[in-house]
Structure 1
Amino acid sequence: MLRKAYALLGLSFLPCAAGAYAGTYVNFYALFSNSWLSVVAFFIFAYGLMFAIEKNRYNNLGIGLLMVFTFGFGFFLSPILQFALASRIGGQIVGMAALMTAGVFFTMAAIAHRSKSSMNGIAQFLTVGAVVLIIGMIVNMFMNIPALGLTIAAGFVIFSSLVIMWQIRAVIAGGEDSPTSAALTLFISIYNIFTSLIQILLAVMDNR
């Protein structure tokens, strides 16, 4: 089961990369001149497809929808990549974020493999953490406070790292029986860590 989930996760980065590449040919500022429109479009796409993937998590349609999902996430990733790469040290920042993301994933996966705990306590913490982060995102949409944005980004790194550990442990313990669902959760967590680290590194390293 876990091997299948890892295989799907690895495969999902191919359409994600294709989506990010396709996004380089799109003028996002013209397409989503209203920032609220971009947020609404993203959430409709994300949650609509997540629901469809979960409904079809035991068949090939679910796998196909997962690939569409990751392509779309790659597409929406393109603006922050373009913004980061416009910096004189943009390539360094993106590379560091990718390496750090990989490091976090392999570390949390190793912990999950060695742990004997059911991690029920972590599951409860993650539920509360998700609510807090969503509320923080909504608040910052109105207030646009840079320090709050960085705090939320750091929170997403911690939250998503724990989700990786929890999800892998759930697969190992038999609490998750769909490799498609597991790959979806892991992909979203890695995506959140990567984008959050880019935001943090831009704030810390970029003086343009």
Structure 2
Amino acid sequence: MQNVHHFGSAVATDNALIRNRVLRNTYWLLALSMIPTVLGAAIGVMFGVPIPRGFLGALLFMGIAFGFFYAIEKNKDSGLGVALLLGFTFFMGLMLTPLLQRTLGFANGGTLIMTAFGGTGAIFASLAAYATVTKRDFSMMGKWLFAAVIILVLASIANVFLGMSALSIVISVLVIAVFSAYILFDVQQIVNGGETNYISATLALYLDVYNIFTALLNLLGLAGDRE
């Protein structure tokens, strides 16, 4: 009986070590993924890279993004997966070009961008820390959050045609709420051993952070637009 007890505690220790390693590798790769994102954004703004707008632009973006998702998932157990993830984050940086150009058109554009960046960092750090230590179970939120994302995507596509700033504000607020909840869900998946691949984990958290940043910047830009 004692041997069984020792074996059980050894397995628990091994599982905890694996989870800690996945979490550590995920945070490292997430930090690293910010470099291609900033590089892509800088190139986009400096060279005025034309980003297709409207419905066709949204379709093209989704096609490329889902192509990356598929390729990253297929190669998540190799170094190629890391390279593809970093390529995807460069592409996502480029996609920030129109939003950054619009924001930089304001007198305080640089400040707005840094405020959004700082706000995103604070949201991520506090929610990730909470998800790591809390005993609350967020696993049940998964399907509700996925449904919320589908609704937000449809609302965003509709607003491409409607162009309503009020709807844009509502969408941005909901995006921040939904992807903040996703941070709790995704970090806890790693902590509880539900996600054991750090490349997949990084992709999920990167999308959470990216969406919160763009929604915050959109809100700050809309506020700046009204002043």
TM-score range, shorter chain: over 0.9
**Percent of aligned positions that are identical:** 33
Q: Report the residue type matching 1:128 in the other structure.
A: A
Whether the aligned pair in 2 keeps the contact of 1:109 and 1:165 (CA below 8 Å) is yes
Whether the aligned pair in 2 keeps the contact of 1:15 and 1:74 (CA below 8 Å) is yes
Partner of 1:4: 25
TM-score (norm 2): 0.85
Determine the C-alpha separation between the residues in 1 that align with 2:89 and 2:116. Answer: 19
Once superposed, which parts of structure 1, at least 4 consecutive aligned residues long, lie more than 4 Å away? Answer: none
Determine the C-alpha separation between the residues in 1 that align with 2:182 and 2:151. Answer: 15
Range moving further from structure 2, 143-152 or 198-207: 198-207
Q: Secondary structure at the match of 1:118?
A: coil
Determine the C-alpha separation between the residues in 1 that align with 2:48 and 2:221. Answer: 22
Residue 195 of structure 2 corresponds to residue 176 of structure 1: yes
Partner of 2:88: 69
Partner of 1:85: 104
Q: Report the residue type matching 1:198 in the other structure.
A: L
Q: Report the residue type matching 2:32 in the other structure.
A: L
Determine the C-alpha separation between the residues in 2 that align with 1:131 and 1:83. Answer: 26
Residue 101 of structure 2 corresponds to residue 101 of structure 1: no
Determine the C-alpha separation between the residues in 2 that align with 1:26 and 1:51. Answer: 29
1:54 to 70, 73, 84: 73
Partner of 1:157: 176
C-alpha spacing 1:76/1:89, structure 2 compared with 1 (3 Å): same
C-alpha spacing 1:41/1:26, structure 2 compared with 1 (3 Å): farther
Partner of 1:16: 37
Determine the C-alpha separation between the residues in 1 that align with 2:42 and 2:139. Answer: 39
Determine the C-alpha separation between the residues in 2 that align with 1:147 and 1:207. Answer: 12
User: Root-mean-square deviation (CA), in Å?
Assistant: 1.6
Once the two structures are TM-superposed, the CA of residue 207 in structure 1 deviates from its matched residue by 4.1
TM-score (norm 1): 0.93
Q: Please, which runs of 5 or more residues in structure 1 have no aligned partner?
A: none
Q: Please, which runs of 5 or more residues in structure 2 have no aligned partner?
A: 1-21
Once the two structures are TM-superposed, the CA of residue 132 in structure 1 deviates from its matched residue by 1.6
Determine the C-alpha separation between the residues in 1 that align with 2:80 and 2:98. Answer: 29
Once the two structures are TM-superposed, the CA of residue 28 in structure 1 deviates from its matched residue by 4.4
Once the two structures are TM-superposed, the CA of residue 11 in structure 1 deviates from its matched residue by 0.6
The one-character-per-residue Cα deviations of 1:72-130 (angstroms, maximum 9, x if unpaired) are 00011122112101100111211111111011001111110111233122113212211
Larger radius of gyration: 2
Determine the C-alpha separation between the residues in 2 that align with 1:189 and 1:79. Answer: 20
Q: Secondary structure at the match of 1:87?
A: coil
Once the two structures are TM-superposed, the CA of residue 174 in structure 1 deviates from its matched residue by 0.1
The number of equivalent residue pairs is 206
The one-character-per-residue Cα deviations of 1:13-66 (angstroms, maximum 9, x if unpaired) are 11111111111244345x63x533322221111111011101111111111100
Partner of 2:8: none
Determine the C-alpha separation between the residues in 1 that align with 2:112 and 2:198. Answer: 32
Partner of 2:12: none
